[in-house]
Every structure is written in C-alpha cells, then in structure tokens.
Amino acid sequence: MGVITASGGTFRVTGGNPIGGRIRPAGNKNEALPLLAAALLTEEPVTLQNVPDIEDVAIMQEIVQGLGAQIKSRDDQLEIQCSQVPANQLDPRLTARIRGSVTLAGPLLARTGRIFLPRPGGDRIGRRRMDTHILALQALGASVEVLPHGFELRARQLMGADILLDEASVTATENVVCAATLARGTTIIRHAASEPHVQGLCHMLRAMGARIEGIGSNTLTVEGVDRLHGAIHRIGPDYLESGSFLCLAAVTGGELTIENAGRDALRMIRLQLRRLGVVAEDRGEDDLFVPGRQELRIADDLGGAVPTLDDSPWPGFPADMTSVALVTATQSAGTVIIHEKMFESRLFFVDRLISMGARIVLCDPHRAVVIGKSPLYGSTVSSPDIRAGMAMLIATLCAEGESEIHNVSQIDRGFSRIDERLRSLGAKIERFP
C-alpha cells in the first residue's frame, strides 16, 4: 500500500469487445480518506481493512505520516498510529492534489486545538464550497481566520451545539462528526449527509468509543467523550466502482458477475440505470449478475415525456455516477436529459464524446440532452477527472476502432490498476508512459 507501481501515462484501447467474467470492486475510496484522517483522533493504533490501492489513498497516507503518524501496511490493510500529538501544519503541495485532505480539519482541531488548512485540491469540476465546513466548526466554538492560501482554525475547547448544515455536504458532515466526538456536551447535526461512506466513518468512530446516534439518517447526535481508543474497521465495497462495471458490461454486451458488489448501496443506481435499459440480477449474498447482449432502450416518462436522470443527496442518484450514466445513455435507444446539479464543470467532457460520434446537446453547464443509440468511433481523448476518466474509458471500450486516453493518472486516483483488471475481463487495453 502507498506505492502505485503502474500509474499515469496513456491508455491505448481497442474497442468493440464484450467485457465479461468476474470482478470484485475495491474498497470505497470516499470512505478510506476520512478514515485515515479520523485515525488521528486517538494515540492508539487504528487498523483499516480492504483499503483500495489507489493514488488518492497513497497521497493521504503521505499527508498523515507528515503529521507524525506511523503507518504499517500489509496487503490491503493499514495500521495507523499517532501516539504523539500530531502536527497541525499540512503540506500544501500534497493537500493541493486531493479534495479528501479537507477531512483532516475536524480531527486535528479536536485533538490539537489548532490547524492551518490549505485550500484543498481535487477534481476540477467546478467550485466546491468550504463555507459549510467553516460555519459548522465555528458553531462548535472554533475561531476561523480566512487567509489567501487557507484557513487558520483554533479552539481551546470545542463545545457541543445544535447545528443545521446549510447543505448536506459529505465532507463537512465528516469533519463535524469527528470534531464533535471529543467536544464537551452534545452535538446535533441536522441536514447531515448520510452516504454509505459517511455511515462507515460513523461506525468506525463508534468502534473507537464515540457515542453517535442516528447513523444513516439526516440527523446525527454525538455525545462528546474524553478520549477515543483504537479499533479495527473494514471498508465497504466501492459502490461507484460496481456501478461503473455494471454500465461497462451493459454497453459492451458482456456477461459479467460483480462479486461483493455492495447491493444495498446500489439500489438507486440500479433503479435509475434501469430507465436506460440496464438490467442486473441479484446473485448469492451480495453479487450482481449482468446478462449479456442487453437491448438498451430509454424508458419515456408517463405520457411519452422525455425523461430526466438527475443527481441528488443520498439516497438519491450519486453525482459521481452522472458521467458514466451519460456515456451509457449514448448506447441506449431514445432521448434523455442528464441533469448534474452539483458541479458546473462536470459535464464539460461531453465534447470528447461528441468527437467520437455521440449525439449530445450541452444545454448549459448542468444539463445535457443525449440522443441514442449512437455508434462511437475511436479517438484521442483526455481524462479530465476521476469519474469522467472512467466514463471515457467505458466509451472507448464500446467504440469501434482504436483510441488513446491521455492523463490516465486521473483514473488511477480512483480506480486501482484498472487496465490490468479489465484485461482479465477481455478488454484490449495497454498502458504506455
């Protein structure tokens, strides 16, 4: 763990081959990053299992080690221990590379009473507010100074509060719940995010001795404790990866079994993909079976109206699946509106799909009309962010001819050794420096 042996460069893809066989999703990236941050809340060792071997996790490990934590790795397991009070200065060169670095604010503020948080980086998909984080931590008693390159947060003693988040932000919820575990008194977090990775963080905190009620709901109640202890926690499967594999098999006509898919977290994804004609069957305890040669057809709304597939907070359709859903829609007969509400730059990658033959009208930064089915043809494209990168990879695998995808380090940030894993399913994909 922590060393990505095959990352970056260019993928050369020959499309038109059905993707089939068996595959297992990696651990949830969006759960792993805040768990690494939360491990700093105690001086005792915290063990994480099923950790994905991806670049974002490697960078987060480096940040945490720079704060004084010791990390031991073995296979897909990490043991993190920060026996001394951690440093409170983050390396801005590293935090600029991943958005998940923002989740260090709550744990460090709770344990050290001070943190300078450089402005976080991550995918360039539009403005990503910090206001919710700052307002919520101020409600717990933190003083905040906004500086050109980041935020200086201080608190001698965090105090419980009744907090209404101004948006159901995942990372803000994670920051506040971590900070509240060591605050004095009771904290109520209303309009909290409840995604599976938020639930995973809360379950680990409870295993560390935190008192948290309402996990899985939009209201979390946290009773502060004096200290937390070590714990062992297993990260859940990455349901976004499972959803991506589901779409990949459907658009290439392959027969695929997704093992340990995390079906509970896939209910809304499967419901919305069914509107595009994508079908998957439950198998065993937690597997999904994607039948081969599906006839993909978009289902009109009642009365023949053009349907809209849009994202919303959990348990709605995840924003991180909209790019993959859009590519899937290009291979489904009919017309659909893809409405990405959260980020004003996420849909800008559609110009690459249009160059491959897709019929798409980009109405504005948030909405695109997709008219399918459109035969796609090989092209030279680039990966702008993690999710659009995976979407472009799916597009090239169902396109006719050869394609090149540049800047694949963006895909490596979220998908572990995706080229090797897809080759085992029959994909013709090579990596070049």
**Residues with active-site annotation:** 123
| Contact (CB, 8 A) for 301 and 307 | yes
Nearest to 135 by CA among 144, 125, 127: 144
| Contacts (Cβ under 8 Å, ≥6 apart) of 310 | 317, 338, 339, 340, 341
According to DSSP, residue 260 is labeled T
* Measured distance CA(102)–CA(118) in Å, rounded: 8
Side by side, which strands form the sheet with 114-118? Answer: 114-118, 150-154, 143-147
| Contact (CB, 8 A) for 103 and 117 | no
Tokens matching residue 426 = 């029959």
Amino acid sitting at position 232: I
CA 384 to chain centre: 15
Amino acid sitting at position 137: L
CA 291 to chain centre: 26
Question: Where are the strands (E) in 52-209, listed by range?
Answer: 70-74, 77-81, 114-118, 143-147, 150-154, 162-164, 186-190
